[in-house]
Structures are given as structure tokens and as C-alpha cells.
């Protein structure tokens, strides 16, 4: 074999390891999943929005409006009386409807008198993720299309009509229903924007803390091995549990210091937001977190940090050196990124059941979802998340302590002792400890 061939063969052998390929395969899978999601969004955008229509006006302009709505959306409720409003809203909520459109009695008459015709829109908002506003976005587009057609009609009827009126002949009176609350004067996209400004930063901060503190733990384990200090440590009179918890608490402490620094910055950011969201006060709509909510977020963050660090500690036991530690932080980074993106782009309540299960199972999701849940007083969701993450953390710590008591830490494998068939099972288990 030539020198070049020999070198290439050796390099392939060294580089062709799971550590090289697993991260890339995972990234490919994530991009594949994201591609499917984007395709799903495109399909959702092509679908006709499901609406209800109450038309109290039988004149020409109202007829044009309702016919456009019929042709471009799926009308599942139709009435000519405003008294049916509540029935319509309930039906739309049940059947995944986007909005109820109400055309009042004097709609055409007002426009003929060159004052804007009022269209009442009652939005049914299902989730607060960016993706949850796609259907309402389609309907917003339809309302603009109605405006254009009404303008044409008004100009055809009267060419000397007031130009500033005719460019915008209708006025929307909007109310949004979301999580059993009524938001008068707000559209779903404004609510999403308001909530995003509050809940987008928390997932990013949490992701950064998990990645940084997790990296500290994994690297610490790797350095113990690389600097050959682990063997000495394990022969000292200190319990394995103390070594594990000591490392986790120290990293959690650093993580919390980082969290406090971020939270101080965030609190100023929130204060600014409460008065500056397009002139809308978040407090007026009850869309702010109080001190009790921050306490829940703090507890959720703390248990998540412990759970994450325990997981990192477990991964750290596989690290052989500093280089391999860098590779091992990848799964933790991914586990922090997935819920972060999901929290920003979608709402837990509107996710498919399987995805809900995955998101709930990832411990890092919980503090990310906590702020939005707390704004809508869904304390049960936050508390159940804290309980789940605490159980997850306890199990992780038990596994890590077990690994510390086996040969795996030093040799990469655990002891297998032959079971003596002549002895009772219990005795065998005791011998195995």
C-alpha cells in the first residue's frame, strides 16, 4: 500500500466513530422534522379558514361581503340575527373555527353615507404560538380582499366618492377569545406578539443556562479523567453520593448566578414592555407575571437545572477527555433547543398528542412553558411539571451514583458476576449489591 493510501486508511479509521456521525445524524433528523413542519404550515395556509357568519344586512354591499366570505372560507354557522352570537361562538370553538364575522344591519347604509361600515370580528384563538395565528392571518387577508371589492363597488356607483374613505371603506371591531378570556380590541396576532415578548426570552435564557452549566459538569468529569485525578478522588473517604451531589450543586450554583444576572436584565425588559407594547398595557389585560408567578418559575428552573445537570453528569461518565466532553454536550444542547423552538413557534395546548408527550418528557420544556401557563393561571400544569422534573432528577441522580459505584467510570464496563444457581436468588442479589 502506498504512503498516501496508508495515511488515508488510518485517518478513516480514526474519524469513522459514532462521536463523529451521531451529532450530524441528529442534526439531519432535526432539519428533516423542521422541513415537515414547514410543509405542514404551507398546507395550513392554503386551507380555507373555518368561520361563522351573522349577516343582519340584506343590502348590496353586505351581500358582496358575505359572498366573498362564502367563496373563500368554510362557513359552518350562518344566521341573520345577532342573538345567535353566543351559539355561533360555542360552535366555532368546538369545530376549530377561526372567527365569527358579524355584518350589522346598517352596514351598507353607513358606507353609502361615506362613513366606514363596521365589521365585528370575534376571533377564536387556540394557541399563542406563532404558528397558531396562520388561520387568522388567512382571514385577515380575506378582510383586506373584501375592502378592495367594496371600494370598487363604491367607485362604480359614485365616481365622486370621498377618496380617503373609499380606500378603506370598512372598520373592524375586534374581540379575541383565548383560554376562557375575552380580549376586547385585540387581534390574535397582537396577543401572540404581546405574549412572545414576555415568554420568548425565558426559553432562550433557560437554554443558555442549561447548555453552559451542563457543559461545566460534563467538562468537569472529563477533566477528572484527563488529568488523572478521578482515581485518587474515588479512593478518598468520601461517599460517591457526596461527589455526585457536590459536583451538581456547584454547577447549579454557577448556573443560578448566571440565571440571576439574566433575570435582572429581564425584569427591566419586562418593565419596559408593560408600557410600550404598541401603547397597549399588558397589565390591563392581566398578561403580566406577579411575584408568586416568578417564584414558580424560579422553582421550576431550579429543579430543571438539577435534572439537567444530573443528566449531564451521567453523560460526563462517558467522557474520556475534554474533546469527547464537547461532543457529549450536543444531546443536551438539542434537548434544550427543541422545547425552546416549540415554545416560541407553537403552544403546548395545540400540539398533536405525541408531540405533547415528547415536549412534556423533556425536562427543559417546563420552565420554558411555565411563564405562559402562569399568565393564564394554569398552576396545575406548572406544578405537575415541577413534580415530573423532580422525579426525573431523582432518578438521574440514583443512576449516576450507581455508575459511580461500578467499574464503568474507570473501565467503561460494569462487573458481571456469575449467578450461583445453587444459592437462593435473594442471596445472589445481596452478593451483587
Say how far apart CA 205 and CA 433 lie, in whole Å: 42
- Window 377 to 406, contacts with another protein (CB under 8 A): 406
Cell of 147: 375592502
Span interacting with another protein, options 161-169, 354-362, 375-383, 409-417, rule CB under 8 A: 409-417
Binding-site member from 10, 95, 239, 320 for another protein (CB under 8 A): 239
Neighbours of 101 (CB within 10 A): 25
Binding-site member from 417, 421, 422, 425 for another protein (CB under 8 A): 417
Residue 421 in the binding site for another protein (CB under 8 A): no
Q: What are phi and psi of 74, to 5 degrees?
A: -100, 105
Cell of 298: 424560579
Question: Taking Cα atoms as reference points, which of 178, 76, 57 lies closest to residue 120?
Answer: 57
**Alpha-carbon dihedral sign for residues 278, 283, 287, 290:** positive
User: Whose Cβ is closer to another protein: residue 71's or residue 242's?
Assistant: 242
Residue 256 in the binding site for another protein (CB under 8 A): no
Specify the 3-state DSSP secondary structure of 115.
Answer: coil
Least CB distance to another protein at residue 401 (A): 14
Least CB distance to another protein at residue 306 (A): 24
Least CB distance to another protein at residue 132 (A): 49
Residue 415 in the binding site for another protein (CB under 8 A): yes
User: Whose Cβ is closer to another protein: residue 227's or residue 292's?
Assistant: 227
Residue 140 CA: distances (Å) to CA of 47, 137, 143, 185, 361: 14, 5, 5, 15, 36
**Burial 181-192, CB ≥16 within 10 A → b, else e:** eebeebbbbbbb
User: Whose Cβ is closer to another protein: residue 93's or residue 431's?
Assistant: 431
User: Whose Cβ is closer to another protein: residue 96's or residue 407's?
Assistant: 407
User: Whose Cβ is closer to another protein: residue 239's or residue 323's?
Assistant: 239
Say how far apart CA 261 and CA 246 lie, in whole Å: 23
Binding-site member from 234, 258, 263, 299 for another protein (CB under 8 A): 234
Binding-site member from 46, 184, 228, 422 for another protein (CB under 8 A): 228
**Alpha-carbon dihedral sign for residues 42, 44, 47, 48:** negative
Question: Taking Cα atoms as reference points, which of 190, 165, 175 lies closest to residue 121?
Answer: 175
Span interacting with another protein, options 25-33, 116-124, 235-243, 263-271, rule CB under 8 A: 235-243
For another protein (CB under 8 A), the number of binding residues is: 21
Span interacting with another protein, options 111-119, 199-207, 223-231, 327-335, rule CB under 8 A: 223-231
Least CB distance to another protein at residue 415 (A): 4
Residue 367 CA: distances (Å) to CA of 106, 205, 257, 345, 386: 50, 10, 17, 16, 9
Span interacting with another protein, options 3-11, 101-109, 133-141, 415-423, rule CB under 8 A: 415-423
Instruction: Decide the pairing of beta strands 99-103 and 117-125.
Output: antiparallel
Residue 419 in the binding site for another protein (CB under 8 A): no
Residue 237 in the binding site for another protein (CB under 8 A): yes
Say how far apart CA 115 and CA 108 lie, in whole Å: 10
User: Whose Cβ is closer to another protein: residue 10's or residue 432's?
Assistant: 432
Say how far apart CA 313 and CA 250 lie, in whole Å: 12
User: Whose Cβ is closer to another protein: residue 222's or residue 340's?
Assistant: 222
The contact set with another protein (CB under 8 A) reads 227-229, 231-232, 234-239, 406-407, 410-411, 413, 415-418, 433
Amino acid at each position: 500500500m502506498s504512503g498516501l493510501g496508508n495515511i488515508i486508511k488510518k485517518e478513516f479509521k480514526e474519524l469513522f466513530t459514532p462521536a463523529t456521525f451521531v451529532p450530524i445524524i441528529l442534526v439531519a433528523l432535526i432539519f428533516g422534522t423542521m422541513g415537515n413542519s414547514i410543509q405542514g404550515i404551507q398546507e395550513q395556509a392554503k386551507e380555507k379558514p373555518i368561520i361563522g357568519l351573522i349577516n343582519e344586512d340584506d343590502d348590496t354591499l353586505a351581500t358582496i361581503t358575505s359572498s366573498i366570505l362564502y367563496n373563500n372560507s368554510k362557513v359552518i354557522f350562518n344566521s341573520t340575527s345577532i342573538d345567535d352570537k353566543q351559539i355561533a361562538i360555542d360552535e366555532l370553538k368546538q369545530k376549530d373555527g377561526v372567527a365569527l364575522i358579524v355584518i350589522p344591519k346598517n352596514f351598507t347604509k353607513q358606507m353609502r353615507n361615506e362613513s366606514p361600515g363596521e365589521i365585528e370580528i370575534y376571533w377564536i384563538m387556540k394557541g399563542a404560538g406563532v404558528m397558531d395565528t396562520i388561520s387568522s392571518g388567512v382571514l385577515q387577508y380575506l378582510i383586506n380582499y373584501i375592502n378592495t371589492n367594496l371600494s370598487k363597488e363604491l367607485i362604480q356607483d359614485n365616481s365622486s366618492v370621498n377618496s380617503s374613505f373609499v380606500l378603506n371603506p370598512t372598520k373592524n371591531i375586534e374581540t379575541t377569545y383565548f383560554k376562557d378570556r375575552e380580549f376586547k380590541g385585540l387581534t390574535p396576532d397582537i396577543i401572540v406578539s404581546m405574549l412572545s415578548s414576555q415568554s420568548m426570552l425565558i426559553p432562550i435564557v433557560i437554554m443558555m443556562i442549561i447548555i453552559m452549566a451542563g457543559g461545566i459538569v460534563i467538562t468537569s468529569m472529563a477533566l477528572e479523567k484527563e488529568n488523572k485525578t478521578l482515581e485518587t478522588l474515588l479512593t478518598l473517604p468520601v461517599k460517591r453520593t457526596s461527589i455526585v451531589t457536590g459536583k451538581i450543586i456547584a454547577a447549579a450554583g454557577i448556573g443560578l448566578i448566571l440565571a440571576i444576572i439574566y433575570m435582572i436584565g429581564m425584569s427591566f425588559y419586562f418593565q419596559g414592555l408593560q408600557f410600550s407594547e404598541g401603547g397597549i398595557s399588558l397589565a390591563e389585560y392581566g398578561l403580566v407575571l406577579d411575584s408568586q408567578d416568578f417564584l414558580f418559575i424560579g422553582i421550576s428552573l431550579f429543579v430543571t437545572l438539577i435534572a439537567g445537570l444530573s443528566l449531564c453528569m451521567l453523560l460526563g461518565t462517558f467522557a474520556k477527555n475534554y474533546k469527547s466532553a464537547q461532543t457529549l454536550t450536543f444531546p443536551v444542547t438539542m434537548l434544550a433547543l427543541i422545547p425552546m423552538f416549540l415554545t416560541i413557534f407553537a403552544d403546548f395546548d395545540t400540539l398533536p398528542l405525541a408531540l405533547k408527550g415528547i415536549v412534556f418528557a423533556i425536562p427543559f420544556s417546563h420552565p420554558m412553558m411555565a411563564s405562559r401557563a402562569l399568565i393564564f393561571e394554569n398552576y396545575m400544569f406548572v406544578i405537575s411539571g415541577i413534580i415530573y422534573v423532580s422525579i426525573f432528577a431523582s432518578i438521574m441522580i440514583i443512576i449516576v451514583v450507581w455508575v459511580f459505584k461500578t467499574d464503568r467510570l474507570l473501565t467503561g464496563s460494569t462487573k458481571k458476576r456469575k449467578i450461583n444457581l445453587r444459592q437462593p436468588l435473594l442471596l445472589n442479589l445481596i452478593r451483587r449489591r
